Structure 1
Amino acid sequence: MQPPYDTAAGPPVTLDRRDGPYGEVVLRRRGAADDADAVFEIIANGCFLMDTSDGRSERRLVRAALDALPADRSAPALLIGGLGVGFSLAEAAGEPRWGRIAVVEREAAVVDWHRDGPLAAVSATALADPRTAIVRADLVAHLQEPDGPVYDALCLDIDNGPDWTVTEDNTGLYSPAGLAACAARLAPGGVLAVWSARPSAAFEGSLRNAGFTRVRTEEIAVARGVPDVVHIGIRGA
């Protein structure tokens, strides 16, 4: 996905660059260090993932999942797949109706940037929330663990979408086996919500084929460019 803002202000400044088992991950800043409007962005293997310029679609990912749950479900448990720049976690922690909030993040660098780095401005309050737990793991592998915890909602944002993955291994998340693993981690009536930079009719079909009901795609307008989307499906009883 291309950065959703005007890059004419000048080249970005690289704040951290690390190589790990999944490739290279980079944190960059656009704007001066003392500029309150500076934008931080995460690049993985040369692919722009997300930045702090907007955040409305990452926040909507979590709100859409809560909206799709029965109103009488008490303290629903939430899994967020991908810490990213922290907007989804901040949204979840700001909503008292959520119960436990697990965030699965495989990149140690991303966790460090939130705990001790520039992204703490987004997530410090959410990380301090007693409901929040960071799980350092690969999301695909975590979902496939036997006898894992069950959630009321899975909000997944680890790629630019089902058709545009960051690493080849992530394609398994959107496969029949991956969606079956998601369903197994959901309570009956639970919600699977998947962020994407573009709609995917093929993925809608995959959700239906995997037994999810009330499948729909919600568009979210962003500051620049085409709308982001959230794909939503409900696990049957």
Structure 2
Amino acid sequence: MDGSAIIDRADGECGELVLRRVGEHHEIIANGMFLMDTRAGESERLLVRAAAERMRPGGTLLVGGLGVGFSLREALAQPRVGAVVVVERERAVIGWNRGALGNAGPLADPRVRCVPADLVRWLASVEDRFDAVCLDIDNGPEWTLGADNASLYSLSGLDLLATRLAPGGVLAVWSAAASPEFADRLGSRFEDVETLAVPVARGEPDVVFLARRSSPSRPS
């Protein structure tokens, strides 16, 4: 017996979602595929921390994907972050964060706006500009939950992301594996592309991709 228990099930945008408790931790499963858990979160926190350290002080940081709340909590802990917008398409995940996952406080913070929407469609429908955009909606550019999400990592998707960044803004993308092809695509659209590897207990390291939108040239 592994001490696991199903806490809740819900029909989501990507199919059946399950919140499961295993010992003292929680896991979220989508259509039988493991998505995330509350065990570590080191790479998710690095995703936000690295973006925040490179963004304009007092700016707005967009988190794509609420997950189990690691990214949101890290954003609120960063002194350079003035406001946080979280876009999460699964209403069940938002509800779980307000309940069993213990993130009611961060979601109620006056600096936070939580938008229940599909990130790709939402980005295409707004004109907001952000000083940092942190993407954690899939297991990586090559391991996505659907075709809509996959489009975000294409050249056209990167062009869309660039339009949502303020000049000098930072894009950060989480991945469960390296992707040289995605790094090349980033390099064709952004400046100062970096790849940060985060060792994990088993398997290949998690990866955080960082890229910056160029700032306007200063007059001479």
TM-score (ref. length: structure 1): 0.87
Distance in 1 of aligned mates of 2:168 and 2:27: 35
Distance in 1 of aligned mates of 2:158 and 2:78: 27
Query: Which structure 1 residue ranges, 5 or more long, are not aligned?
Result: 1-8, 32-37
Cα RMSD (Å) of the superposition?
A: 1.4
Give the residue type in structure 2 aligned to 1:161. G
Q: Percent of aligned positions with the same letter in both sequences? A: 55
Give the residue type in structure 2 aligned to 1:128. A
Partner of 2:34: helix, strand, or coil?
Answer: strand
Give the residue type in structure 1 aligned to 2:11. D
**Residue correspondences, number:** 215
Distance in 1 of aligned mates of 2:79 and 2:50: 15
Shift of 1:11: 5.8
Alignment of 1:85-234 (within 5 A): 85-115=68-98, 117-120=99-102, 123-146=103-126, 148-209=127-188, 211-234=189-212
Distance in 1 of aligned mates of 2:105 and 2:32: 30
Give the residue type in structure 2 aligned to 1:28. R
Structure 1 residues 86 and 172: alpha-carbon distance in aligned structure 2, compared to 1, 3 A threshold: same
Partner of 1:99: helix, strand, or coil?
Answer: strand
| 1:106/1:137 contact within 8 Å kept | yes
Partner of 1:84: helix, strand, or coil?
Answer: coil
Distance in 1 of aligned mates of 2:74 and 2:66: 12
Query: Which structure 2 residue ranges, 5 or more long, are not aligned?
Result: 216-220
TM-score (ref. length: structure 2): 0.93
Q: Which moved more, 1:148-157 or 1:217-226?
A: 217-226
- Give the ranges of 4+ consecutive aligned residues of structure 1 lying more than 4 Å apart after TM superposition: none
Offset from partner CA, 1:204-229 (integer Å, 9 cap, x none): 111122x2011111011233332211
Structure 1 residues 124 and 21: alpha-carbon distance in aligned structure 2, compared to 1, 3 A threshold: closer
Give the residue type in structure 1 aligned to 2:187. R
| 1:101/1:133 contact within 8 Å kept | yes
Distance in 2 of aligned mates of 1:106 and 1:28: 19
